[in-house]
Structure 1
């Protein structure tokens, strides 16, 4: 076992119920604009927690409040058991060493070698050179760059630079790792490798990771829980499979549009709000019902009541999630209600999208 995998880290999973972050009614305004408007959430030790939202939703302000770079106007911000909201700058310094940061654009020093970049936080702390270089070598091994210790950032690919950034963030053995759009500048293949590395670090070290991102696939791939932020407020929160499989708010459904089945455009284009031969319904499911005999049961209960138009089943966190589009004959208004009631009773979220004007 590598020396940096401490006994405390091994035991971190056993402490998973303990909150490492707890925010209560956090508010921050810039002039008349509320950047954070009553944020309350908790992140447990050892989990990977995702925060998603559009640009300007408040994600960057939130992460700056978490590491003490931004001061909240009101509310409580507990990090690793301590309320940091009222701490003086001098008191914040030791706390910041408990928080590792990885950034979208790496923030490496071009004049320093890879190992010097990684060891820099330890140098600032006053750690002796042999010890900090030993730590740098351990971390280079962890992130798969053992042969790049003497290289300079200019010679590295984007993915390698981000691995160095991750290693540097881990140098001081933080209790919390914050990732601020860390994969946004990377291609899809490199993004997958970085996410796999973060998942591996979380598993090996028991390290809590908070991902701030607008990329839904990032959250889908590795997060345990997710919060959706919009206009400075948390509008939805829960297990990733549950939120992605059955989103409750319009903003969440919009954000997930790129990774969830969508009604084909040629059908959407001919939908009417009031007239048509068929009503088109979207059906969202998450959990066991998503791969059960739902539609067979529906056909048995209401023969000839629908046809499947589009959709599919995915698996997130080993849980099935599904989205289907079905067409229900519009000749009998009661039939549409009966179908919706049947599906809703089986934990589906059903929405009438419109009426197909062309289907015969």
Structure 2
């Protein structure tokens, strides 16, 4: 199995539950932005700690692009506050924003490299804009190209690079001015899966080596799963759910989160799902979500010992997210005896499993 997720509701972080602290690099307070009748942002509040990777995920049109533009000062909110390293940038003039923007690095989906300039010149561009001496610029570019594994490409031009190499150059450029915050705007969306994994691994390594705070904007749950510490789900301009990645993935509360997770959480095989009915049948099909200690325990063996009768596993498995075991199991239970079914469900819930009766089937599956 590849990605299977589960639920432990008592460790979830409710929306807005984490109070701001002195280590917050980013703090947004009731951010609102409208375009005509459309509320692109409708009261967004969240914080990002120093050294943390926060993933913000949502569908197209959810408000992600507007949010990131407010973070780097390219968009002015109608109301609310945007604090970067403790300073509210939401009402600063362009001249005051200039030095603060140097504290924010940006990597883009389509790389945005200067095709007529060499790789090292592209990397050094932010330092040239700052007015740094040429020798200093090139020394910093060499240091960063080594960090991203492209030292041998310093004199090359972007046209000779692969997509993954171009993104590595983009990452090096974003780090040139030693930012406190790195914004990643769909940085892997244009890359193939293997290259995406290598870029995400690089970002995680940079986060660990430099203690760099990273905010990821994405529509891909696998990106969040791979490297984020926390996730915030945005829908129609609102943060509808947030918390540690493994707990949100394990027990998604909102319909949008459940939908976004549909591609990577295990689903009942279509052949079985097509046979489900709400009428009593030979077997009841249960979905059992487990996490933490419940996922570590021999749950099904204990069930067999504690509850007379029969049942069997038809699909599912256990995986790990952020070093936490999580799993989803689909189990067929004798469905003709309601008392037996109730006893099975009660036992599982007592073990901190979330249980859902999906329906019944007339014959064994």
TM-score normalized by the length of structure 2: 0.90
Write out aligned runs for 1:136-215 (5 A): 136-215=141-220
**Alpha-carbon displacement from aligned partner over 1:125-175 (angstroms, at most 9, x marks no partner):** 111111111111110111111011111100100000000000000000000
* SS of equivalent residue, structure 1 residue 173: coil
How far apart, CA to CA, are the structure 2 residues paired with 1:269 and 1:17?
53
Tell me which residue corresponds to 2:298. Answer: 293
Tell me which residue corresponds to 1:12. Answer: none
Tell me which residue corresponds to 1:45. Answer: 50
Q: Report deviation, 1:298.
A: 2.0
Q: How has the CA–CA distance of structure 1 residues 88 and 333 changed in structure 2, closer, same or farther, with 3 Å as cutoff?
A: farther
**Alpha-carbon displacement from aligned partner over 1:26-52 (angstroms, at most 9, x marks no partner):** 112221122112211111100111111
Tell me which residue corresponds to 2:4. Answer: none
How far apart, CA to CA, are the structure 1 residues paired with 2:210 and 2:264?
30
Tell me which residue corresponds to 1:279. Answer: 284
> Does the Cα contact within 8 Å between 2:280 and 2:336 map onto a contact in 1?
no
Tell me which residue corresponds to 1:231. Answer: 236
Mark the runs of 5 or more structure 1 residues left unpaired by the alignment: 1-15
> Does the Cα contact within 8 Å between 2:103 and 2:178 map onto a contact in 1?
yes
Which 4+ residue blocks in structure 1 deviate beyond 6 angstroms? none
Write out aligned runs for 1:1-360 (5 A): 18-304=23-309, 306-359=311-364
Tell me which residue corresponds to 1:3. Answer: none
* SS of equivalent residue, structure 2 residue 183: strand
> Does the Cα contact within 8 Å between 2:49 and 2:213 map onto a contact in 1?
yes
> Does the Cα contact within 8 Å between 1:22 and 1:43 map onto a contact in 2?
yes
Q: CA RMSD in A?
A: 1.7
> Does the Cα contact within 8 Å between 1:17 and 1:45 map onto a contact in 2?
no
Q: Which moved more, 1:112-121 or 1:268-277?
A: 268-277
How far apart, CA to CA, are the structure 1 residues paired with 2:320 and 2:246?
8
Q: Which moved more, 1:32-41 or 1:168-177?
A: 32-41
Q: Report deviation, 1:227.
A: 1.2
Q: Report deviation, 1:85.
A: 1.7
**Alpha-carbon displacement from aligned partner over 1:188-234 (angstroms, at most 9, x marks no partner):** 11111111111111111100011111111111111111111122221
Q: How has the CA–CA distance of structure 1 residues 29 and 276 changed in structure 2, closer, same or farther, with 3 Å as cutoff?
A: farther
> Does the Cα contact within 8 Å between 1:23 and 1:76 map onto a contact in 2?
yes
Q: How has the CA–CA distance of structure 1 residues 176 and 328 changed in structure 2, closer, same or farther, with 3 Å as cutoff?
A: same
Q: Report deviation, 1:17.
A: 7.1
**Alpha-carbon displacement from aligned partner over 1:259-317 (angstroms, at most 9, x marks no partner):** 22111110011112344332222111221211212222222232225321110111111
